Amino acid sequence: MPEVHAELTTDRDPDELAKIVTDYYGIHTWSAGVNATAADETRPGTRLCTLASGARVAEQLVDFGPTFVRYRMITDETSPMSDYEAELRVTPGATGGSVLSWGASFHCAPSLEEPLTGGIRATFEQGLEDLRAS
């Protein structure tokens, strides 16, 4: 099962960032990769994200707390991935500021592992930069 992880540190206050991270339906307010987010009225805890590319993805909240959200992507048979689950978290930095981390695991065909992990890692890294700058 491939795993992807991205992390960065920032001088920003962890409590301030935690409020942004835990606004599950507000990812479009800080991520340049997400143009819009709407609640899926047919599936509780599910957000429909319209990506900058125009694609739409459905993500269902699995768990959350004061400093993190964990969600799974709802996929169908046309998706190159299955069992995709991710977590976005903010923790206090060792010497102040914050540590932002975003990680995921999923299943895919072995031939797709490298391109998918590279694309997801790039998305996470850009998302964390966007979050830091928000």
The predicted-structure confidence for 93-120, as pLDDT tens digits, reads as follows 999 999 999 999 999 999 999 999 999 9
Sheet (strand 46-51) strand order? 3-10, 98-108, 81-92, 68-74, 56-65, 46-51, 34-39
- Whether 34 is in a domain gets the answer no
Report pLDDT for 77: 85
User: Exposed, middle or buried by CB within 10 Å (0-12, 13-18, 19+), for 11?
Assistant: exposed
Domain of 77 in residue numbering reads as 3-24+62-133
Domain CATH code at residue 103: 3.30.530.20
- Whether 40 is in a domain gets the answer no
**H helix runs in the chain, sequence order:** 14-21, 113-133
- Whether 36 is in a domain gets the answer no
Question: What digits encode the pLDDT tens for the residues 47-106?
Answer: 999 999 999 999 999 999 999 999 999 988 889 999 999 999 999 999 999 999 999 999
- Whether 29 is in a domain gets the answer no
- Whether 78 is in a domain gets the answer yes
- Whether 128 is in a domain gets the answer yes
- Whether 35 is in a domain gets the answer no
What is the torsional sign of CA 89, 92, 94, 98?
positive
- Tally of domains in the chain: 1
Strand partners, 100: 8, 90
What is the torsional sign of CA 97, 90, 79, 81?
positive
- Whether 77 is in a domain gets the answer yes
